[in-house]
Structures are given as structure tokens and as C-alpha cells.
Amino acid sequence: MDKNIKITIFSHLLVWLVLFSIPYILSYGQEQNINRIIAHFWIPILFYAIIFYLNYFVLIDRFLFAKKTLFFVLINILMITIFILLKEQIENQLFVDIIRKRGSTDDAGPPFKMTIYVQMLSYMAPLLFSVAIKTTKRWAETEAKRKEADNIKLQSELQHLHYQLQPHFFFNSLNNIYSLVDISPDQAKKSIHSLSKLMRYMLYETNMELVPLSKEIDFMKKYIDLMKLRVSDKTVVNYNFPSKESGIKIAPLLFISLIENAFKHGVSASKDSSINIQMTCKDKTVLFTVENNNFPKKINDKSGSGIGLQNLEKRLKLLYAGKYSFKTSVENNLFLVHLEIETM
């Protein structure tokens, strides 16, 4: 049996045990009349239990939650009325001494109508209690399902972005290699071999929610080395990554779009240019910066769709909401990127 079910059953038994023990607790040390206790306490409590569980397991689901409120109210009124009359009949038939004592006393007790009214209110308590518990439980289940649906939607969207990034990265890399085929066939061959290793990582090792930061660093280094093959001597590429194992785990492929962007828009065939990439780790915070020359695309240049940075921003919002800072700016003809992520 499930642990939660056992706890629930135990809690219910404990509550009813306390309720059945109340007469003895309230009159501790005094003489007890068992017939009076049965008539005035145990029989009503038994009826309370029937009202509670009948509503909890049957009536609330079948009528109240099904928007058949009138039937729900009428059935409960009928049930409460039957229990009140049944209680009076049981007292009249089985506990004659109580009736005699009640009749031998002066009319000091409450009027009959008042007695019925009080009994109606007392029978309403387990009814309202069952409605409150059932409604709270239903709200909790609905909330849990909503969160599960949101989580499934989140995972689906993240997976879509991940699959969107893979072909984007692949086609960009192929375009870079294509430019080397005529200029340097040997370098083109090396590039294809390097690209196959990078694609193997993207296809088989980035399907997890988190990957070790060290693996991402190794992936970025290989990509930078691949891109360096196609740039001229006029471009200087510097990078600095943590050399020690930090133990940090991070969502895969967050930084690669920024490096792609630097090589795509920070390199000129005729002008001197530089790309500076740096990553530092402090506690569980990762700081990644990129600085490169800014060579804006010409109006008639249709290469690239900007999908990489858009993809990155969407993933950051989904994965690290409230735990990241992402800024880009242009200063002194330099394109600057600042990305800071608080990992878990």
C-alpha cells in the first residue's frame, strides 16, 4: 500500500477515535451512563461519518462537481432529515430510560423546533467539511496537472529550440568549409573531420538537460580551432577558458551562437580584426564575454538569419529565468557580449 494512503487512513482513524472518546474526555472521573453516551454522542457521530464519506466518495463528484447543485442539496437535506428522525426512533425504541428521564424533568430544555434546528446545523458540519477537503484536493490536483502541462510545454519548446540550433550550426559550418575547398583542399578535409566530431557531440551528448561545463568548453575550443582555419592572418583570435574542473553543470550549447556570431560579423578579409573570448567561473556563476570588431552586414547581404541569438535568448528565458544577465552593445566599433549565468 502506498505510504500516503497509509498516512491518510491512519489520520482518519485517529480523528474518529478522538471524536468517539470525547464524552469520556469531557467527563473524566465522573460516572458514565453508557446509554446516554450511545444515544447522544456515538449514534450522531456514526451518522456524521456516513454523511462525510458518502459525500466525499460519491455525491460531491457525481453532483456538485458535475454542476448538479440542486440534486446535491436535495439529497443531503433528505439524508440529514432521515438521520434526525432515525436518531429519534432509536432513542424511543432502545433507550426508554433516557426518554423517561427527559419526560420527568420540567420543561427546562430547549423547544423541539430549536432542537431540530441545532441538529440540522450539527449534521451540516461533516457535509461542509467534506466539501472543503474535496474542493481543496481537486484544486491541488488541477494545479499539479497545470504545472505538469507547463513543464511538458517547456520541455517541448526547449527541444524544438535545440533541434532548431543543430541544422543552423551545421549549415553555417558547411558554408565556412565550402569557402576553403578551392583555396586549401587539405584544410577543408581537416575541417570536415573536425566538424564530424562537433556534430557527434551535438547529436549524442547534448540531449541531456545539463552537461558538465568542461565538455562545453572542450566543444567550444574545437569549434574555435575549426573556425581559425578559414580566417586570414589579418585576424587574431584569442580565447581563455577555465582550465580546472569546476564541477559546474550547465544547459548545453548556450555559448556557441555567440562564438559563431563573432566569426560571422567580426572578421574582415581586407582589414585587421580581432576576436577575444573569455570565460570565468566563480562559485556557481559563469561569466562569458566576447569582444570582436564590428563589420555590419551590407543591405544586400542575405547570409545568416539571426536565428542563433534569438534562439539563445529564448532558451535563457526558459532555462534560467531571473538567473541570468545577457547584454550586447557596440562601443568604439567593437561588438561586446556579456553573458552571466547563475547555475544550480
Sign of the alpha-carbon dihedral angle for 102, 103, 104, 109: positive
Rounded to an integer, the average pLDDT of 101-122 is: 62
Q: What is the pLDDT of residue 302?
A: 47
Q: Are residues 177 and 47 in the same domain?
A: no
pLDDT over 90, % of the chain: 29
Q: Are residues 136 and 164 in the same domain?
A: no
Q: What is the pLDDT of residue 134?
A: 92
Q: What are the phi and psi torsion angles at 292 (to 5°)?
A: -145, 160
Rounded to an integer, the average pLDDT of 1-11 is: 74
pLDDT of 277 over the 90 cut? yes
Angle between helices 307-319 and 112-181 (to 10 degrees): 150
Domain boundary among 120, 147, 174: 147
Integer Rg of the chain from CA: 38
- Residues 326-338 have pLDDT tens digits of 999 999 889 999 9
95 alpha carbon, distance to own chain's centre: 58
Q: What is the mean pLDDT of the chain?
A: 80
Number of domain units in the chain: 2
Q: Are residues 314 and 239 in the same domain?
A: yes
List Cα–Cα distances, 167 to 33, 160, 161, 171, in angstroms: 85, 12, 11, 6
What is d(CA 226, CA 218) in angstroms, rounded to the nearest whole number? Answer: 12
Cα of first residue to Cα of last residue in the chain, in angstroms, is: 35
Structural domain of residue 44, as residue ranges? 3-147
Q: Which of 69-73, 94-98, 196-200 is the least confident region?
A: 94-98
Q: Structure pTM? A: 0.55
pLDDT of 93 over the 90 cut? no
What is d(CA 131, CA 144) in angstroms, rounded to the nearest whole number? Answer: 20
Domain boundary among 131, 147, 163: 147
Are the CB atoms for 337 and 260 separated by under 8 Å?
Answer: no
